[in-house]
């Protein structure tokens, strides 16, 4: 293993990759063995010469010397063999290409069906196109082929041309006057041979690397044994690879065909054997081609042949090349830890002892290095491997007896693979990695336990929760990588998202409730409470202001507490989330404390809730703080004040109980009568409908009109019932606080608990499914009344009746199906979008370019602005600048 810059070995740059057909000559030249025997082993168990395990395929057994190259198996690359086919066979996946080629060329002279001069001009155009826009050249060639195919008489030799018919995958028929005639692979090959190079080129082939006739095999290459290794089970039973099985079948059919020909068997038998051979070779290349007999094991399991190895999610391309497994990574369940910084990640000791970082010994760290070595591989913080520079040896500490002596012998220049320790930079990732915040750098904090610990505030960018989520952790090992991760990927640099120019990290759930409870007017903190809160905020070095109330004892407001952590000179004004409904205010003169004012770093009025400190809330207090004061200041705010929010909840105690959704009997009675009224209205609507006097909504049928009117009426009922119930609730009701501050739940949730569930819908309509003319046998056929069509008047507090449960489940199921469908569809869309955009980049001159340096945009986003550093997409916020100036100059007109 080497560290640091690349060694002296020469490096090459790949300038291009070309795919082409193997020529029979190449196949013959590279073949070291000709396979003629369909059996693999002799009766004594040794491989048969000229069979598919002939030793000339390369050394594979330990200690075996390759008869071809003389190497042991570590150094023998493996060698190809060949099967000489008794008759030519088409390459099955090239059927369409051959068909196109034959149709565009003369069946007699092989020339393209275009007059000489025109063809010459077109070839010139084609070559020019190929140079600059290869994709266009291909389209051009296709057009040329299309044009040539419609010619009925050869312009060169005058031969009449027939239409061809392709039966997939590779049967070609010539449509002559006397009927359809099948073209044998031999005939096809002869015709392809006659096509001159220039004509083939004009039809989109590259005859220098792939002559058309090579698409019809005369000799089949057999891959080396290392490509199709056999496995030996404990009972020393040999199991061959699927490819070997397929090749055995090919050899068998080939030999059968050979015998028929040699014994001049009837033409029909030869034909049959030939077709079988063709089919077997097709299956060897792709066992899932349509219209072929698939090769299978005796147990009728399909053979995995060449195409099956490459294709699909677990195939070579997607499974092994695009997606690889990596070292120095770890994966485990995540769990929350509100006490670590958002920049940190808790790593179990067990993991820290496996993941290592190379540490170059210098005079400055040699003491540390000695300590790590002394601790050895099993005691944290230790080391697993030492590279001695002078001796140029690698010492595995697991097998090292005398650690003390080794530690003593360390000298500058040695490299110690030490355990992960506190402060190391690691990359942390949760799939699906949909945006750049799905992989961020964290500082390690080694702790007991077996889970990765993360601060709750970073759940938002990862979209993580703790119901069993697992996450991956990677250790960058080189100094360069570590520096890059720290500077660019650290969590605090991603509090703001480039997606919409706002904070993606911020308060959620209990943080919001806590913030509200701390800042609400009724909260007054005595010195003990303040101390307790400050204790929750570890690195707080703040100055306690003069208490808001001095007697009978000093008391501070929650707003004063918050103000200790806001930077001087910071200003903000805006509406709180609770600024709605009865608590609406439009200015700072707000009785309900729902208009937030921060002046010079002091929270003067208003409560903090989702609109000011919430996650994914652009143009909020948190947003301006992070954007204008820098990510470090932002991180400090999140690591301190937010911890106080949680502490506040702990001090106060916060829960939701039955009593929170309890409504006085008198209110329930009112709701009941509202239900009765609505039902009467609906019955009246149905009556109108039956009489034909119902007012029809334009563009709707009478039935639709009725449904819409009923839904409307029932919607109104639920809204009113909800309002009645919620109006009754006091402002200290915890469910109410959560709904109104945006911490969790909504008015609808409260309505459903306290008042009624309301109309259940499937596909936006009242529930009509079930039996022929009714939803459930509880109802009369044709009953259109609310309760027969999924209206649930019950609530979660009192419980639902059986049919109500059923309707609710029907509506709930739809939601589940919707999310499942939506995620899979948007996931696929995202994948295609990323594939299309992945190698675009912003160049240093501000242009957007692709991998070939083609220009996509002359200035990134037309304005060259980084959306992460914007105010919700706007580069400058004039209002805020004006505010700023006003404050600096001493406020408005008076200045």
Partner 1 sequence: MPSTVKQPDRRILDHFLVPKHRILSLEEAVEVLNKLGIKPWQLPRISVNDPVIRLLGGKPGDIVEIVRNSPTAGEYVTYRVVVSY
Q: Residue 229 or 873: which CB sits closer to partner 1? A: 873
CB of 500 to partner 1, least distance (A): 14
Locate tokens 């070595």: which residue? Answer: 373
By the rule CB under 8 A, 851 interacts with partner 1: no
Q: DSSP state, 214?
A: G
Q: What is the closest distance, in whole angstroms, from the C-beta atom of residue 839 to partner 1 in the complex?
A: 15
For residues 653 and 661, give the distance between their C-alpha atoms in angstroms, rounded to a whole number: 18
- The angle formed by the CA atoms of residues 840, 844 and 849, to the nearest 5 degrees, is 25
Q: What is the C-alpha to C-alpha distance for residues 457 and 442, in angstroms, rounded to an integer?
A: 13
DSSP H or E segment with residue 462: helix 459-462
Site string for partner 1, 478-507 (x = CB under 8 A): ------------------------------
With 0-12 / 13-18 / 19 or more C-beta atoms within 10 angstroms meaning exposed / middle / buried, residue 363 is: exposed
Nearer to partner 1, 805 or 875 (CB): 875
Residues 416 and 314 sit within 8 Å (Cβ to Cβ): no
Cβ 89 vs Cβ 278: under 8 Å:
yes
Asked if residue 133 binds partner 1 (CB under 8 A), the reply is: yes
Interface with partner 1 includes 23 (CB under 8 A)? no
Least distance (Å) from partner 1 to the CB of residue 853? 6
Q: Exactly one of 847, 868, 877, 887 binds partner 1 (CB under 8 A); which one?
A: 847
**Residue 861 interacts with partner 1 (CB under 8 A)?**
yes
Helix (H, G, I), strand (E, B) or coil at 703: helix
Query: Which of 619, 562, 593 has the alpha carbon at shortest distance from 741?
Result: 593
Q: Which stretch binds partner 1 (CB under 8 A): 308-316, 618-626, 691-699, 859-867?
A: 859-867
**Chain centre distance of CA 839:** 17
Region near partner 1 per CB under 8 A, out of 208-216, 502-510, 644-652, 855-863:
855-863
* Contact with partner 1 (CB under 8 A) among 836, 853, 890, 893: 853
Interface residue with partner 1 among 380, 601, 864, 872 (CB under 8 A) is 864
Q: Closest CB to partner 1 among 118 and 822?
A: 118
Smallest distance from the beta carbon of 846 to partner 1, in angstroms?
Answer: 11
Which residue among 36, 434, 800, 865 contacts partner 1 (CB under 8 A)? Answer: 865
Interacting stretch for partner 1, rule CB under 8 A, among 130-138, 285-293, 305-313, 885-893? 130-138
| Sign, Cα dihedral of 55, 56, 59, 64 | positive
Q: How many residues does the chain have?
A: 895
Burial (0-12, 13-18, 19+ Cβ within 10 Å), 559: buried
Based on the shown chain and the rule CB under 8 A, indicate whether residue 855 belongs to the binding site for partner 1.
yes
Q: What angle do CA 405, 407, 411 make, to 5 degrees?
A: 115
CA atoms of 726 and 713, how far apart (whole Å): 20
- The answer to the question of residue 844 lying near partner 1 (CB under 8 A) is no
Q: Is 701 exposed, middle or buried (0-12, 13-18, 19+ CB in 10 A)?
A: exposed
CB of 435 to partner 1, least distance (A): 21
Position 544 contacts partner 1 (CB under 8 A): no
CA distance linking residue 871 with residue 501, whole number of Å: 6
Closest Cα to residue 200, out of 276, 148, 255?
148
Applying CB under 8 A, among 301, 692, 854, 892 the residue interacting with partner 1 is 854
Residues 856, 848 contacting (CB under 8 angstroms): yes
Q: Give yes or no for a contact between 620 and 612, defined as CB atoms under 8 angstroms apart.
A: yes
Quote the least distance from Cβ 121 to partner 1, whole Å: 14
- List 30, 49, 120, 136, residue binding partner 1 (CB under 8 A): 136
The stretch near partner 1 (CB under 8 A) out of 256-264, 330-338, 491-499, 851-859 is 851-859
Nearest CA to 151 among 223, 224, 102? 102
The answer to whether the peptide bond before residue 552 is cis (omega within 30 degrees of 0) is: yes
What does the block give as tokens for 874? Answer: 């706007």
Cβ closest to partner 1, residue 666 vs residue 862: 862
836 is a site residue for partner 1 (CB under 8 A)? no
Interface with partner 1 (CB under 8 A), residue from 3, 771, 841, 858: 858
Q: Give the nearest distance from C-beta 855 to partner 1 in angstroms.
A: 6
Residue 134 is a binding residue for partner 1 (CB under 8 A) = no
Least distance from partner 1 to the Cβ atom of residue 437, Å:
23
Report DSSP letters for 247-296, one per residue: HHHHHHHHHHHHHHHHTT--HHHHHHHHHHHHHHHHHHH-TT-TTSPPPB
Other beta carbons within 10 Å of 505 = 27
The nearest distance, CB 617 to partner 1, in angstroms, is 23
Of residues 160, 404, 553, 859, which one binds partner 1 by CB under 8 A? 859
Q: In this structure, which long-range contacts are made by residues 67-72, counting pairs with CB atoms below 8 Å and at least 24 apart in sequence?
A: 68/32
**Which residue stretch of 287-295, 475-483, 635-643, 860-868 sits at the interface with partner 1 (rule: CB under 8 A)?**
860-868
Query: 131 vs 178, which CB is nearer to partner 1?
Result: 131
Beta-ladder partners of 599? 602
Rule CB under 8 A: say whether 50 interacts with partner 1.
no
121 binds partner 1 (CB under 8 A): no
To the nearest whole angstrom, how small is the minimum distance from the Cβ of residue 115 to partner 1?
Answer: 21
243-252 in b/e burial notation, b at 16+ Cβ within 10 A?
A: bbbbbbbbbb
Contact assessment for residue 30 and residue 36, using Cβ atoms and an 8 Å cutoff: no
Token representation of residue 295: 């090769």
Of 515-523, 543-551, 790-798, 850-858, the segment contacting partner 1 by CB under 8 A is 850-858
Task: Specify the residue, 652 or 859, whose C-beta has the smaller distance to partner 1.
Answer: 859
Q: Are 386 and 406 in contact (CB under 8 A)?
A: yes
Q: Count the site residues for partner 1 by CB under 8 A.
A: 18
**132 near partner 1 (CB under 8 A):** yes
Tally of CB atoms within 10 A around 774:
17
Window contacting partner 1 (CB under 8 A); options: 54-62, 746-754, 766-774, 844-852 = 844-852
Examine residue 878 and tell whether it contacts partner 1 (CB under 8 A): no
Closest contact distance (angstroms) between CB of 857 and partner 1 is 8
842 near partner 1, rule: CB under 8 A: no
- Count other C-beta atoms under 10 Å from residue 884's C-beta: 14
* Binding residues for partner 1 (CB under 8 A): 132-133, 136, 845, 847, 852-856, 858-859, 861-865, 875
């Amino acid at each position: 293993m080497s560290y640091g810059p690349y060694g002296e070995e020469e490096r090459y740059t790949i300038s291009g990759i070309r795919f082409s057909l193997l020529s029979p000559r190449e196949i013959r030249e590279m073949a070291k063995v000709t396979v003629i025997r369909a059996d693999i082993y002799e009766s004594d168990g040794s491989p048969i010469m000229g069979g598919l395990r002939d030793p000339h395929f390369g050394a594979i057994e330990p200690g075996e010397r390759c008869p071809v190259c003389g190497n042991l198996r570590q150094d023998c690359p493996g060698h190809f063999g060949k099967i000489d086919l008794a008759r030519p066979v088409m390459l099955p996946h090239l059927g369409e290409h051959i068909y196109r080629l034959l149709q565009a060329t003369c069946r007699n002279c092989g020339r393209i069906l275009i007059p000489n001069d025109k063809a010459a001009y077109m070839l010139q155009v084609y070559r020019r196109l190929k140079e600059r826009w290869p994709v266009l050249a291909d389209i051009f060639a296709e057009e040329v082929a299309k044009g040539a195919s419609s010619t009925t008489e050869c312009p060169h030799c005058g031969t009449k041309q027939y239409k061809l018919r392709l039966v997939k995958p590779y049967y070609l028929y010539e449509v002559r006057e006397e009927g359809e005639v099948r073209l044998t692979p031999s005939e096809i090959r002869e015709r392809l041979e006659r096509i001159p190079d220039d004509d083939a080129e004009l039809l989109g082939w590259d005859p220098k690397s792939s002559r058309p006739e090579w698409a019809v095999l005369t000799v089949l290459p057999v891959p080396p044994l290392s490509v199709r290794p056999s496995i030996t089970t404990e009972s020393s039973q040999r199991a061959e690879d699927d490819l070997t099985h397929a090749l055995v079948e090919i050899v068998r059919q080939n030999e059968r065909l050979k015998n028929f020909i040699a014994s001049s068997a009837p033409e029909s038998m030869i034909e049959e054997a030939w077709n079988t051979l063709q089919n077997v070779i097709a299956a060897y290349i792709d066992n899932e081609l349509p219209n072929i007999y698939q090769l299978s094991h005796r147990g009728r399991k399909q053979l995995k042949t060449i195409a099956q190895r490459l294709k699909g999610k677990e195939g070579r391309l997607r499974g092994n090349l695009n997606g690889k497994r990596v070292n120095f990574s770890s994966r485990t369940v995540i769990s929350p830890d509100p006490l670590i910084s958002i920049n940190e990640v808790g790593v179990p000791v067990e993991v820290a002892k496996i993941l290592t970082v190379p540490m170059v010994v210098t005079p400055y760290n040699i003491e540390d290095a000695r300590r790590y070595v002394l601790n050895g591989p099993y005691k944290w913080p230790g080391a697993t491997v030492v590279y001695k520079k002078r001796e140029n040896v690698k010492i595995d500490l697991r097998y090292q007896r005398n650690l003390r002596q080794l530690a003593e012998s360390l000298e500058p220049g040695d490299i110690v693979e030490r355990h992960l320790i506190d402060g190391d930079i690691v990359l942390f990732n949760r799939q699906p990695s949909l945006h750049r915040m799905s992989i961020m750098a964290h500082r390690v904090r080694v702790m007991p336990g077996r889970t990765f610990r993360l601060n709750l505030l970073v759940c938002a960018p990862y979209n993580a929760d703790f119901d069993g989520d697992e996450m991956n952790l990677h250790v960058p090992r080189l100094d360069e990588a570590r520096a890059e991760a720290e500077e660019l990927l650290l969590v605090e640099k991603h509090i703001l998202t480039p997606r919409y120019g706002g904070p993606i990290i911020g308060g959620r759930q209990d943080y919001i409730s806590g913030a509200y409870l701390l800042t609400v007017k009724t909260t007054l903190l005595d010195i003990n409470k303040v101390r307790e809160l400050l204790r929750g905020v570890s690195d707080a070095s703040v100055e306690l202001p003069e208490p808001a109330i001095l007697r009978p004892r000093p008391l501070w407001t929650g707003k004063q507490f918050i103000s200790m952590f806001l930077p001087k000179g910071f200003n903000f004004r805006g509406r709180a989330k609770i600024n709605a409904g009865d608590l609406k205010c439009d200015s700072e003169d707000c009785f309900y404390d729902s208009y937030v004012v921060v002046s010079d770093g002091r929270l003067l009025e208003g409560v903090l809730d989702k609109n000011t400190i919430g996650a994914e809330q652009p143009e909020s207090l948190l947003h301006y703080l992070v954007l204008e004061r820098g990510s470090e200041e932002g991180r400090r705010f999140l690591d301190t004040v937010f911890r106080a929010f949680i502490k506040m909840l702990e001090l106060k105690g916060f829960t939701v109980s039955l009593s929170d959704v309890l409504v006085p009997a008198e209110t329930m009675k009112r709701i009941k009568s509202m239900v009765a009224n609505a039902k009467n209205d609906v019955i009246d609507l149905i009556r109108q409908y039956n009489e034909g006097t119902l007012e029809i909504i334009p563009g709707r049928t009478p039935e639709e009109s009725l449904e819409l009117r009923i839904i409307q009426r029932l919607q109104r009922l639920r809204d009113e019932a909800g309002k009645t119930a919620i109006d009754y609730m006091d402002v200290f009701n915890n469910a109410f606080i959560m709904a109104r501050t945006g911490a969790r739940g909504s008015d609808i949730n409260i309505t459903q608990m306290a008042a009624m569930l309301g109309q259940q819908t499937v596909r936006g309509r009242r529930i009509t499914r079930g039996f022929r003319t009714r939803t459930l046998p509880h109802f009369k056929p044709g009953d259109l009344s609310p309760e027969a069509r999924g209206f649930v008047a019950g609530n979660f507090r009192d419980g639902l009746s059986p049919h109500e449960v059923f309707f609710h489940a029907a509506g709930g199921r739809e939601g589940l199906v919707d999310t499942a469908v939506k995620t899979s569809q948007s996931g696929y869309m995202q994948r295609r979008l990323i594939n299309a955009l992945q190698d675009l980049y912003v160049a240093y001159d501000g242009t957007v370019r692709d991998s070939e340096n083609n220009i996509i945009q002359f200035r990134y986003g037309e304005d060259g602005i980084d959306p992460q550093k914007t105010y919700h997409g706007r580069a400058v916020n004039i209002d805020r600048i004006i505010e700023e100036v006003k404050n600096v100059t001493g406020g408005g007109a008076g200045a």
